[in-house]
Structure formats: C-alpha cells, structure tokens
C-alpha cells in the first residue's frame, strides 16, 4: 500500500518517504508547481548542486525548493560503495537544513551511462518548486530498480544475477509495480509528461508487454530510453517518471 505523504513546508511540496539517500517522489503543494531542469553540460555533483542553489537564489527561491536530483555515475557501485556515496550526498543536504523530521525529502535518480561514462559522479538535472496558480499538482517520481520491499540488499533483487529475456521481464514487472505505487500517491496517469527507462538490455518487448498495459500514458507519450545501468551492481532495470508543465534546459 502507498505510504502517506509528508509535507515539506519550506519547499512547497509533499514527499513520499523513502530511504536515507532519497525520497520515493514529490508532488507540488497547492500554490506551487515543479519545474524540471536538464543541464546542457553536466557538472561534478557537489559543484553542480552548489550551482543549482545559486540558480534557485537567482530565481528568488531558497535551496529548500530543490525537490529532485538526477545524477550520472562512472559505473555501478557495490552496495558498500553506494552507501559511502550516499553518506556524502545526504551530508550536504543536512548541511543545507533540507531534512524534514530527519527524513530526506528530495527525490533522486542516479544511473551509469554505458557509452562514454563520466569520470566522476555528475549532476545531470534537477527539479524545484516555484509559486504557481496551476490547477493540478505537478510531480516527480524517483528512480527505482527491481528490488523487493525491504531496502538495498542483494537478496532482495528480483532474479539477481540473471539477464535472460524472461528474467528481464520479471525485473521490469517489479519496477513498473513500484512506479505505479508511487504514481498512486503522487499523481495520475493522465498528467504524466515523461517516462524514463534505464537499462542496457533490449526494451521493445518490455514496453509493449509490461509497461504500456500498466501505464497507459506510455502508448501516446512514449518512453525515453537511456542506455545506462542502475547505480548498484546486479540491478539491471530502473525507471522514473514525472508530470510537469515546464521542462527546461539551462546552460551554465
């Protein structure tokens, strides 16, 4: 069952609690909307987030308006390596007083490009809230891979170590379940503007047989496929989604 949303009063959004490194997704509060930003030139993650904070200030928003982060890492981490990176990332948010009742409200996607990966983890994009009279709630659903409930543990990965078409179908089914659970809490199918899939494996049959039946908006909006690997070794399929009105590119 979807969890209850928590309010981030400083940020103008609600969030679906997740784990220490990130929330499961965010939805704008009444009187606000979420804007999605892609960087024309990705930046090292720490410097990039500092630049994002300055960008928000230049648009009369504080760092608390930051509600989503998209990263690109050099290669999938081991579970221990992923934990070490997440500690650094969370520490920055704590320094900025971003946590709500000890919880991280910011959604996140972090994947590794198969071709021409970066030499270090980079900021690819981010989302933030702005005051708005939009009549519907914009939202961002965080990236999720084929993990059963219970956290980041190898034994919870669906069909761990397998990459056959049948195994990939089962992995995709689990990821789509996660996306639909989050969508139920945060938004609705008709408001989806972008659906992203992250995998190095063939996607056509997964789209037609798994994603479209569960998320009908894909039939008209399509899927944006990134030839990437999820950020943790042995996870093979990841998705995220959003429903926004403004999707912009910035050139820093």
Q: Give the pLDDT score at 3.
A: 60
CATH of domain 6-250: 3.30.1330.40
pLDDT confidence band for 9 (50 / 70 / 90)? very high
- How many other C-beta atoms can be found within 10 angstroms of the C-beta atom of residue 249? 10
Q: What is the pTM of this model?
A: 0.97
- Portion of the chain with pLDDT greater than 90, in percent: 96
- Helix, strand and coil content of the chain, in percent to the nearest 5, comes to 30, 35, 35
| Sequence-ordered strand ranges (E) for the chain | 6-8, 13-16, 25-28, 32-44, 66-72, 107-113, 122-131, 139-145, 194-199, 224-229, 238-243, 246-250
Q: Give the pLDDT score at 252.
A: 86
| CA 226 from centre of chain | 13
Q: What is the pLDDT of residues 75-115, one digit of tens each?
A: 999 999 999 999 999 999 999 999 999 999 999 999 999 99
pLDDT confidence band for 23 (50 / 70 / 90)? very high
Which run of H or E residues covers position 165?
helix 165-186
Q: Give the pLDDT score at 187.
A: 96
Which run of H or E residues covers position 48?
helix 45-58
Look at the alpha carbons of 233, 235, 236, 238 in this order and tell me if their dihedral is positive or negative: negative
DSSP single-letter state for residue 135: S
Mean pLDDT of 31-54: 98
**Is residue 212 over pLDDT 70?**
yes
Look at the alpha carbons of 42, 24, 177, 149 in this order and tell me if their dihedral is positive or negative: positive
Residue ranges per structural domain of the chain: 6-250
- Portion of the chain with pLDDT greater than 70, in percent: 99
Q: For the chain, what is the mean pLDDT?
A: 97
**Residue pair 138/241 in contact by the 8 Å Cβ criterion:** no
Q: Give the pLDDT score at 2.
A: 47
**Residue pair 41/133 in contact by the 8 Å Cβ criterion:** no
Instruction: Return d(Cα 57, Cα 53) in angstroms, integer.
Output: 6
Q: Give the pLDDT score at 45.
A: 98
**Is residue 1 over pLDDT 90?**
no
Q: What is the pLDDT of residues 148-198, one digit of tens each?
A: 998 899 999 999 999 999 999 999 999 999 999 999 999 999 999 999 999
Mean pLDDT of 67-79: 98
**Is residue 22 over pLDDT 80?**
yes
């Amino acid at each position: 069952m979807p969890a209850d949303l928590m309010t981030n009063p400083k940020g103008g959004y609600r969030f679906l609690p997740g784990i220490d490194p990130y929330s499961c997704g965010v939805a704008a509060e009444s009187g606000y909307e979420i804007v999605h930003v892609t960087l024309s030139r990705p930046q090292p993650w720490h410097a990039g987030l500092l630049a994002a904070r300055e960008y928000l200030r230049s648009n009369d928003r504080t760092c608390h308006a930051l509600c989503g982060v998209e990263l690109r890492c050099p290669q999938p981490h081991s579970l221990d390596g992923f934990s070490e990176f997440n500690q650094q990332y969370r520490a920055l948010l704590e320094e900025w007083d971003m946590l709500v009742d000890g919880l991280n409200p910011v959604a996140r996607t972090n994947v590794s490009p198969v071709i021409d990966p970066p030499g270090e983890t980079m900021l690819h994009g981010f989302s933030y809230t702005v005051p708005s009279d939009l009549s519907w709630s914009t939202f961002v659903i965080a990236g999720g891979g084929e993990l059963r409930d219970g956290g980041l543990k190898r034994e919870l990965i669906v069909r761990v170590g397998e990459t056959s078409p049948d195994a990939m179908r089962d992995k995709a089914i689990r990821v789509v379940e996660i996306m639909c659970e989050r969508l139920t809490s945060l938004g609705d199918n008709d408001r989806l503007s972008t659906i992203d899939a992250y995998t190095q494996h063939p996607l056509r049959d997964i789209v037609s047989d798994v994603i479209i039946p569960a998320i009908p908006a894909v039939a008209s909006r399509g899927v944006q496929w990134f030839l990437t690997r999820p950020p943790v070794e042995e996870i093979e399929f990841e998705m995220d989604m959003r429903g926004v009105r403004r999707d912009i590119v910035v050139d820093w």
